Chains A and B, each alone.
Chain A
Amino acid sequence: MKRLALKSKDVRIGVFVCHCGSNIAGYLDCKAVADYASTLPGVVYSTTNLYTCSESGIAEIKRAITEKKLTRVVVASCSPRTHEPLFKSACKEAGLNPYLFEMVNIRDQCSWVHMNSRDEATEKAKNLVRMGVAKAWFLEPQEDFEMPIEARVAVIGGGVAGLSAAESLADMGVSVVLIEKSPQLGGLTLKLNSLAPHLHNPDDLVNPLIERVEHHPKIKVYKESSIKKIEGYVGNYRIELDVKDQGVIQEAVSAVVVAVGAKPYIPQGLYGYDGERVITQFELEQRLKSKGVGDAKNVVMIQCVGARSQTEGEKSYCSRICCATAVKNALILKERFPDIKVSILYRDIQTYGSDFEAMLWKARSMGVRFYVYDPSDPPKVADNAVLVRSKIFSDDVLELPADIVVLSTPLVASDEAPVIANLMRIPTDANNFFLEAHVKLRPLDFATDGVFLCGSCRFPCTSEEARIQGMGAAARVGALLAKGKVISSALVAEVDSSTCCGCQGCLRICPYGAITYDEGRHVCQVNPILCKGCGACTAACPSQSVQLKGFRPSQLLPQVRAAMESLKEMFVSCEL
């Protein structure tokens, strides 16, 4: 194999082998590793520490950098995930570029997994250190990217989630542009008759919120607007809107909150839906709010219509809020018309938590009837009744008289969701709900920096949950904006345009939308602010044109070779 040529004058490596108390020293000979390191080409200083991460360990690193004029530091200790930032800061404080630091894991990857083979573990640690030193030879100084960021945010969607986000942000001193497609703020909530579980009037929640938002000095509201274009990245978004009676407007913002909500599913062709006698739960809300239910004596509600289904065209998920809504409306019907008979046909009654469960108990005590049905044998809607086989009573089919049949259908993604997803290149799932960065730990962030989400466009939720998520998204934005700048690690991908052939393999594989294609020059380019340094693009590139700084082939291949060869065999000290 070819020997690698280097300029040896600039490389003065310091190696620090950590005992980690007894975590490493208890299982391998640290002194032997440090002695071995001192024989490696380029290593001018080699020592052991009890705890390199302790105050004294850090002080020693800084002192060695100054006294021995080190130009590279290698620490052989635990996982980079624990103390790499600490060691890098130490280098920086001593005047050494923090990217000239390399960490070798001889704990998690050596002493902790070879607890009964002291000699072999010591040999392995020596090999690992040799690999780290090989890489250290080829490290390059780097600078982090800093970009100033202005406290100005766009919120797309003027329902409860969007309004809550806007209000929260504005109270924190952030300028907000609120964009709503309809003439009226308030979204789906304002169209409801009442809010579970306490049966509050939605106007009492939404109207004061709308009032605050419309009159807040820090919020600009655009109604009856559609978004034509959203370009850019965190700190630098440009939005083009078409606003009724105002024409095309440009807005520049640093971050975007997506709150476009959801809409009720219309169960065409299911259960004889006709919008008159067989209606949706949402349509029932409208009637309860206005004209009422006439002289209906029997109401039968059917849950999970078009939901929890594997049938083409229907939805597979449980829409979370429909059971609580049905129980709420059943309660209201009973309160208004004590003699009305209300039955709910269900698969599972999803009145989760404390207040919703209490609502269920109240409904039962008021005489609302509950019948479970099996999805393989669903209810049938006849002219004056609903037929259901509820096996918990008998194998017979029950005939429940029904003047009105109410179908509880799921909330589905709004028509705006795929449009926004496309414009902003943010991901949606199979149901067109937006896909967050991490379903558990980062439910309000997108993987792409600078974009956040809240409310039913993420997944069906109650008005209170929408408010909570809106405020939460505001906090996430606040955290981004608080420092006044965005700092991005230097270890990002970079395209050599002289060898790039424009195949766009990297662009397609990038999970962060950090790569764009320059039509004019037929090459790809990486946005260093959005790049997270995952390296997927470098694996996809057929010509090694895109490389990850700090992990270039010219840095990694010597490291790999050093696993098997001695460095003296690998290197020649002549000019490249």
Chain B
Amino acid sequence: MIRDKEHHVLVIGGGIAGIQVSLDLAEMGFFVHMVEKLPSIGGKMAQLDKTFPTNDCAI
């Protein structure tokens, strides 16, 4: 599939969407450069206490 050359992608944003797209692309063999403007990733989800509808911890 993606074996011949290493392909590079830039992801801007380290919230849940940015994290998921980076992980999926990396698992598929792409090299991902992730840029986040805050000192750490996690986005809004890291500020939530629990998430609906399962009341799991957001972290």
Physical contact A–B (CB less than 8 Å): yes
Q: Which of A439, A475, A476, A482 contacts B2 (CB 8 A)?
A: A482
A481 / chain B contacts, CB cutoff of 8 Å: 1
B27 / chain A contacts, CB cutoff of 8 Å: 478-480, 482
**Beta-carbon contact of B29 and A482 below 8 Å:** yes
A440 interfacial contact with B, CB 8 Å = yes
**Beta-carbon contact of A440 and B56 below 8 Å:** yes
CA distance A174 to B24 in the complex (A): 16
Interface size on A, residues (CB 8 A): 14
With A440-B51, A482-B29 given, is the CB distance from A151 to B1 under 8 Å?
A: yes
B2 / chain A contacts, CB cutoff of 8 Å: 172-173, 482
A483 / chain B contacts, CB cutoff of 8 Å: 29
Instruction: Give the distance to chain B from A24, nearest Cβ to Cβ, in Å.
Output: 22
Q: Could you tell me which residues of chain A, from 525 to 548, have a CB within 8 Å of some CB in chain B?
A: none
**Beta-carbon contact of B1 and A476 below 8 Å:** no
Instruction: Give the distance to chain B from A140, nearest Cβ to Cβ, in Å.
Output: 31
CA distance A481 to B51 in the complex (A): 31
B54 / chain A contacts, CB cutoff of 8 Å: 439-440
A475 / chain B contacts, CB cutoff of 8 Å: 24, 28
B39 interfacial contact with A, CB 8 Å = no
Least CB separation from A174: chain B residue: B1
**Beta-carbon contact of A479 and B1 below 8 Å:** no
Instruction: Give the distance to chain A from B51, nearest Cβ to Cβ, in Å.
Output: 6
Residues 474-496 of chain A: 1 if any B CB is under 8 Å from the residue's CB, otherwise 0? 01101111110000000000000
A476 / chain B contacts, CB cutoff of 8 Å: 24
CA distance A479 to B2 in the complex (A): 11
Q: Could you tell me which residues of chain B, from 1 to 40, have a CB within 8 Å of some CB in chain A?
A: 1-2, 23-24, 27-29
**Beta-carbon contact of A478 and B51 below 8 Å:** no
Q: Could you tell me which residues of chain A, from 458 to 510, have a CB within 8 Å of some CB in chain B?
A: 475-476, 478-483
CA distance A440 to B54 in the complex (A): 8
Instruction: Give the distance to chain B from A353, nearest Cβ to Cβ, in Å.
Output: 16
With A151-B1, A173-B1, A174-B1 given, is the CB distance from A482 to B53 under 8 Å?
A: no
Residues 143-156 of chain A: 1 if any B CB is under 8 Å from the residue's CB, otherwise 0? 00000000100000
B24 / chain A contacts, CB cutoff of 8 Å: 475-476, 478-479
CA distance A34 to B53 in the complex (A): 46
Least CB separation from B56: chain A residue: A440
**Beta-carbon contact of B53 and A439 below 8 Å:** yes
With A440-B56, A478-B28, A479-B27 given, is the CB distance from A172 to B51 under 8 Å?
A: no
**Beta-carbon contact of A172 and B1 below 8 Å:** yes
CA distance A478 to B28 in the complex (A): 6
Residues 428-453 of chain A: 1 if any B CB is under 8 Å from the residue's CB, otherwise 0? 00000000000110000000000000
Determine which residue in A174, A479, A483 has the highest number of CB atoms from chain B within 10 A of its CB, and name it.
Answer: A479
CA distance A475 to B51 in the complex (A): 25
Q: Could you tell me which residues of chain B, from 35 to 59, have a CB within 8 Å of some CB in chain A?
A: 51, 53-54, 56
Instruction: Give the distance to chain B from A254, nearest Cβ to Cβ, in Å.
Output: 12
B1 / chain A contacts, CB cutoff of 8 Å: 151, 172-174, 478, 481-482
CA distance A479 to B28 in the complex (A): 4
Q: Could you tell me which residues of chain A, from 363 to 400, have a CB within 8 Å of some CB in chain B?
A: none
Least CB separation from B21: chain A residue: A475
CA distance A29 to B25 in the complex (A): 45
Least CB separation from A476: chain B residue: B24
CA distance A151 to B27 in the complex (A): 15
B53 / chain A contacts, CB cutoff of 8 Å: 439
A480 / chain B contacts, CB cutoff of 8 Å: 27
A439 / chain B contacts, CB cutoff of 8 Å: 53-54
Q: Could you tell me which residues of chain A, from 140 to 176, have a CB within 8 Å of some CB in chain B?
A: 151, 172-174
Instruction: Give the distance to chain A from B26, nearest Cβ to Cβ, in Å.
Output: 8
A172 / chain B contacts, CB cutoff of 8 Å: 1-2, 28
CA distance A478 to B21 in the complex (A): 13
Least CB separation from B16: chain A residue: A441
CA distance A479 to B23 in the complex (A): 9
Q: Could you tell me which residues of chain A, from 174 to 205, have a CB within 8 Å of some CB in chain B?
A: 174
Instruction: Give the distance to chain A from B16, nearest Cβ to Cβ, in Å.
Output: 8
Q: Could you tell me which residues of chain A, from 404 to 442, have a CB within 8 Å of some CB in chain B?
A: 439-440
CA distance A505 to B56 in the complex (A): 30
Least CB separation from B24: chain A residue: A475
Chain A residues near B (Cβ < 8 Å) = 151, 172-174, 439-440, 475-476, 478-483
CB-defined A-B contacts under 8 Å, sample of 21: A151-B1, A172-B1, A173-B1, A173-B2, A174-B1, A439-B53, A440-B51, A475-B28, A478-B1, A478-B27, A479-B23, A479-B24, A479-B27, A479-B28, A480-B27, A481-B1, A482-B1, A482-B2, A482-B27, A482-B28, A482-B29
6 A-B pairs besides A439-B54, A482-B1 with CB distance below 8 A are A172-B1, A173-B2, A440-B54, A478-B28, A482-B2, A482-B27
The 8 closest A-B pairs by CB, nearest first: A479-B27, A173-B1, A478-B28, A482-B29, A482-B28, A475-B24, A479-B28, A479-B24
